[in-house]
Copies of this chain bind each other. A is one copy, B any other.
Amino acid sequence: MIRLHIALELAYDIGEHGGDFVFNIHAAHTQRQRVVREALSLSQALPSVVQTDPATGNRYLRLQALPGPLTVRYDATIDLDHHVAEPGWIAEVPVARLPLSVLSYIYPSRYCPSDRLHRFAMREFGRLPQGYARVQTIRDWVLSRTTFTSNSSTSDTSAIDTLLGTVGVCRDFAHLMIALCRAINIPARFATGIDYGADPALGPTDFHAYVEVWLGERWYLFDPSGTAIPMGFVRLGTGRDAADVSFATIFGSVTSAAPRIAIEAIADGNGRLVVPHHSAQALSTDG
């Protein structure tokens, strides 16, 4: 078990007509990600509500802010008790046996037009032996053909743009891997979180986007951007793609500052400290 402490601070300046916010900054409730303690503070005295989507466990903070500055602080202590499995034992699931709740993750979405990539993906990956290793091959393929480049994409950039452009940020790596998986009928979804990075002294400078793929009987974690440590992901939200999962959806005239984010591994109740590290095993925080 890993215990992590995260802290976020988001700062906005809201225009004269106020602004509506839907935040997805609360740690998700999953079977293997437990929120031990959490606190939210707002610089404006506002009613707010946190709603949980029963299908995904995503938690949404909704509020209507007044004109002027708004600061949102959230911090939480999270226990991760990963499901850990041997990759060689994890099989793909035939479409006929996919749970209904998983089925929609093989369909194309705004940023992952997997239908247009079907033949391309079949040619590249269609004849590989099925299983976790095939998905790992897709992840490695995306990583090896894409160069992480800040500001190289926009809110319009799709998996096809990334395939052709060969550059992107974590969100783009995730979209491309998801589209390729779906193109060969493997369910894949987009996840956002806070990542415990390679250099904890620096800490994350932004939210992270990664991929969950349905294999065996659960969603396994993959990081196609190669920049993070999957064992150290605190999951905030999952969805079809980035259209569904934004840490802040804002309606109104609002300017924002860069988020401030901190994460650290801390000792659990028994005084044990486990630091996230790269692992060859398959990990899931789900079921």
Contact = CB atoms under 8 A, between A and B. Distances in A.
B55 A119 contact: no
A155 B115 contact: yes
Size class of the contact patch on chain A:
35 or more
A109 B243 contact: yes
Contacts of A100: 51, 53, 60
Nearest to A154: B154
A250 to B, nearest CB: 10
Interface stretch (A69-77, A163-171, A197-205, A267-275): A163-171
Copies in the complex: 4
A116 B64 contact: no
Q: Among A107, A120, A161, A166, which residue has the most Cβ atoms of chain B within 10 A?
A: A107
Interface of A: 20, 22, 51, 53, 55, 60, 62, 64, 94-96, 100-101, 103-104, 107-110, 113, 115-117, 119-120, 123, 145, 155-156, 160-161, 163-167, 185, 239-240, 243-244, 251
B156 A115 contact: yes
A2 to B, nearest CB: 30
B96 A64 contact: yes
23 contacts: A20-B95, A20-B96, A51-B100, A60-B103, A62-B96, A64-B96, A96-B251, A104-B239, A107-B244, A108-B110, A108-B243, A109-B243, A110-B110, A110-B113, A110-B115, A115-B156, A116-B156, A116-B164, A116-B165, A119-B166, A120-B163, A123-B145, A160-B160
Contact of A104 (B96, B113, B244): B244
Q: Among A22, A64, A110, A160, which residue has the most Cβ atoms of chain B within 10 A?
A: A110
Contacts of A120: 163-166
A261 to B, nearest CB: 24
A178 to B, nearest CB: 13
Contact of A243 (B107, B123, B166): B107
Contact of A165 (B60, B119, B251): B119
